[in-house]
Amino acid sequence: MNDTPSGERIQIAFFGKRNAGKSSVVNAITGQNLSVVSDIKGTTTDPVYKAMELLPLGAVMIVDTAGIDDTGELGQLRVEKSLHVLTKTDIAVLIIDSTQGISAIDEKLIAEFQARKISYIIVYNKSDKKAMQVNSIHEIAVSAKTGENIQALKELLAKQVCQPVNPKPLVADFINTGDCVLLVIPIDESAPKGRLILPQQQVIRACLEVGAIPICCRDTELATTLKIISPKIVITDSQAFGKVSKIVPETIYLTSFSILFARYKGDLELVVRGASKLDNLKTGDKILISEGCTHHRQCNDIGTVKLPHWISEHAKCELNFSWTSGNEFPKNLQDYSLIIHCGACMLSPKALQFRQNTAVAQNISITNYGTAIAHCHGILKRSLEIFPEVSALLK
Ligand SMILES: Nc1nc2c(ncn2[C@@H]2O[C@H](COP(=O)(O)OP(=O)(O)O)[C@@H](O)[C@H]2O)c(=O)[nH]1
Ligand code: SF4
Ligand SMILES: [Mg+2]
């Protein structure tokens, strides 16, 4: 975890027809043979991701996709996966084979970029074979083969303007310079060896950024710590919330890392409203538990064991759970009574918001791990005190 988290990176995705040279251009830009290049159409199947620095833009994630003109059943699936990348793309690059020129399929993609308000550039590749006249500052002719204009393309990319990856503050709107913030971080067998987890690191960093004073302790030392200092707010790991809420006096604000991230990345009100669905579940209802990554860096058995257990106890009935992880998220959510998403620490706000919007569009309740856990344990209201407009929803 020495790197900028993937969820904080600007996503630059490369699209275009098969054999236009997407993978070759991506490799030329990253300086690595990251994607397989071949003249066999359809070589790149699943999107390929590569984190890099592109100054002055900063930390970016380069995404190479499969051709958008693929055919057949499998090809169609690849096209869908490529188009799905659009839901989290900040800057799009359309690669065109200069010897073939721009096609109807390329124009459709451009219309899609425009409809989604994604800034984009058009790259005419294979300039060694045919030199193209470019007409706007959003176009460039390059050759992945000879390296011509690859540096200029990097510079052009770095100049693109896009929405900030995270438009919302994590803590800056309620924590001020000089405020003391106490972070409760249990160090048990589920904590990773030798480091803190991403949300904890990010909250500490965000506190430091505003000049606040973050202090950390384990749940076991919380009572002792509160004898020494008097923080403005205590931020705890969700799983220790019950225990922590008994120790922290009512005069001190208390919330969890999950609540802060639910607000930072997505729609806190939406997930708080979604949690009330937990009170209206009946036997046989289908619940989708969706995780944003496949390696479960910090989620261990929360999604697979603990959450289903807590929810079943809360709902007092037999429920039907299913799971998705990583990039997969069902298009059709109609069968589900409730979606419970993970904290999405590895996802960008754009990616999480796409999932939340998908649920909203289909009128399906959606909540998240931290909010659902707090609700099942009867402590949601307290954890929202710091955000009165959201806690008002619970009255
Ligand atoms: N002459 C020439 N060939 C290229 C260039 N870029 C890619 N190619 C070739 O075009 C074919 C398809 O390239 P690839 O990067 O796999 O295309 P993709 O399907 O869009 O990812 C390969 O045979 C590449 O060697 C270029 O700038 N000039
Ligand atoms: S499952 Fe979700 S919250 Fe857990 S590590 Fe992955 S992205 Fe983060
Ligand atoms: Mg390719």
Check residue 219 and give its pLDDT. Answer: 96
Cβ–ligand 2 contact at 291 (below 6 Å): yes
Is residue 393 in a domain?
no
Cα separation, 159 vs 335, in Å, equals 44
Give the DSSP letter string of 240-262. GHHHHHHHS-TTSEEEEHHHHHH
CA angle (13, 150, 134) in 5-degree steps: 85
CATH of the domain at 226: 3.40.50.11420
Closest ligand relative to 351 C-alpha = 2
Is residue 296 in a domain?
yes
Nearest to 330 by CA among 306, 361, 296: 361
Cα separation, 144 vs 29, in Å, equals 9
Closest ligand relative to 291 C-alpha = 2
Element containing residue 46 per DSSP (H, E): none
Cβ–ligand 1 contact at 20 (below 6 Å): yes
Cβ–ligand 2 contact at 344 (below 6 Å): yes
Task: Measure 15 CA to ligand 3 centroid, in angstroms.
Answer: 9
Check residue 296 and give its pLDDT. Answer: 61
Please give the number of the atom of ligand 2 that sits closest to the Cα of 341: 2
Check residue 140 and give its pLDDT. Answer: 96
Cβ–ligand 1 contact at 296 (below 6 Å): no
Task: Say if residue 1's pLDDT is above 60.
Answer: no
The closest residue, in CA terms, to atom 6 on ligand 2 is 293
Residue to substitute in 238, 345, 368, 373 for testing ligand 2 pocket (most ligand atoms within 8 angstroms of CB): 345
Task: Measure 147 CA to ligand 1 centroid, in angstroms.
Answer: 12
Residues 277 and 296 in one domain: yes
Closest ligand relative to 17 C-alpha = 1
Q: Please tell me the least confidently modeled range out of 126-130, 187-191, 382-386.
A: 187-191
Check residue 163 and give its pLDDT. Answer: 73
Please give the number of the atom of ligand 2 that sits closest to the Cα of 325: 1
Cα separation, 230 vs 222, in Å, equals 11
Q: How confident is the model over 30-35, as a mean pLDDT? A: 78
Residues 55 and 130 in one domain: yes
Q: List, for residues 167-184, the tens digit of each pLDDT value.
A: 789 999 999 999 999 999
What is the chain's length?
395
Mean of the per-residue pLDDT values for the chain? Answer: 91
Q: How confident is the model over 185-202, as a mean pLDDT? A: 88
CATH of the domain at 279: 3.40.50.11410
Residues 230 and 334 in one domain: no
Cβ–ligand 1 contact at 78 (below 6 Å): no
Residues 110 and 140 in one domain: yes
Is residue 85 in a domain?
yes
> Is the separation of the CB atoms in 349 and 165 below 8 Å?
yes
| Alpha helices, DSSP H, located in the chain | 22-30, 72-85, 104-115, 150-159, 198-209, 222-228, 241-247, 257-265, 268-275, 307-315, 349-361, 369-376, 380-383, 388-391
Cα separation, 120 vs 162, in Å, equals 10
Task: Say if residue 117's pLDDT is above 60.
Answer: yes
Q: How confident is the model over 145-170, as a mean pLDDT? A: 88
Task: Say if residue 202's pLDDT is above 50.
Answer: yes
Buried b / exposed e along 17-37 (16+ C-beta atoms within 10 A): bbbbbbbbbbbbbbeeebbeb
Is residue 66 in a domain?
yes
Please give the number of the atom of ligand 1 that sits closest to the Cα of 129: 1
In the block, tokens 């069902």 appear at: 330
User: How many domains are contained in the chain?
Assistant: 3
Please give the C-alpha separations between residue 58 and each of 91, 151, 215, 220, 307, in angstroms, as whole numbers: 13, 16, 29, 39, 37
The closest residue, in CA terms, to atom 1 on ligand 2 is 291
Is residue 171 in a domain?
no
Q: How confident is the model over 144-150, as a mean pLDDT? A: 96
Check residue 217 and give its pLDDT. Answer: 98
Cβ–ligand 1 contact at 19 (below 6 Å): yes
Task: Say if residue 119's pLDDT is above 50.
Answer: yes
Cβ–ligand 2 contact at 345 (below 6 Å): yes
Cβ–ligand 2 contact at 199 (below 6 Å): no
Please give the number of the atom of ligand 2 that sits closest to the Cα of 347: 7
Give the DSSP letter string of 298-337. TTTTIIIIIHHHHHHHHHTS--EEEEEETT---S--TT-S
CATH of the domain at 83: 3.40.50.300
Q: Please tell me the least confidently modeled range out of 9-13, 42-46, 115-119, 178-182.
A: 42-46
| 164 phi and psi angles, rounded to 5 deg | -60, 145
Residues 253 and 301 in one domain: no
Residue to substitute in 33, 37, 45, 149 for testing ligand 1 pocket (most ligand atoms within 8 angstroms of CB): 37
Residues 141 and 10 in one domain: yes
Residues 315 and 248 in one domain: no
Is residue 170 in a domain?
no
Residues 256 and 300 in one domain: no
Is residue 175 in a domain?
no
Please give the number of the atom of ligand 1 that sits closest to the Cα of 27: 15
Residues 139 and 20 in one domain: yes
DSSP strand pairing (286-291 vs 338-341)? parallel
* Strand ranges for 98-212 from DSSP E: 119-125, 139-141, 180-184
Check residue 298 and give its pLDDT. Answer: 60
Please give the number of the atom of ligand 2 that sits closest to the Cα of 292: 7
DSSP strand pairing (320-325 vs 233-236)? unpaired
Q: How confident is the model over 63-89, as a mean pLDDT? A: 90
Residues 125 and 249 in one domain: no
Residues 140 and 40 in one domain: yes
Structural domain span for residue 222: 180-261
Residues 249 and 150 in one domain: no
Cβ–ligand 1 contact at 18 (below 6 Å): yes
Q: List, for residues 297-328, the tens digit of each pLDDT value.
A: 566 688 888 899 999 999 999 999 999 998 88
Please identify, among 110, 130, 159, the residue that sits at the C-terminal boundary of a domain.
159
Q: List, for residues 278-296, the tens digit of each pLDDT value.
A: 999 999 999 999 999 886 6
Cβ–ligand 2 contact at 296 (below 6 Å): yes
Please give the number of the atom of ligand 2 that sits closest to the Cα of 299: 4
Check residue 273 and give its pLDDT. Answer: 96
Is residue 270 in a domain?
yes
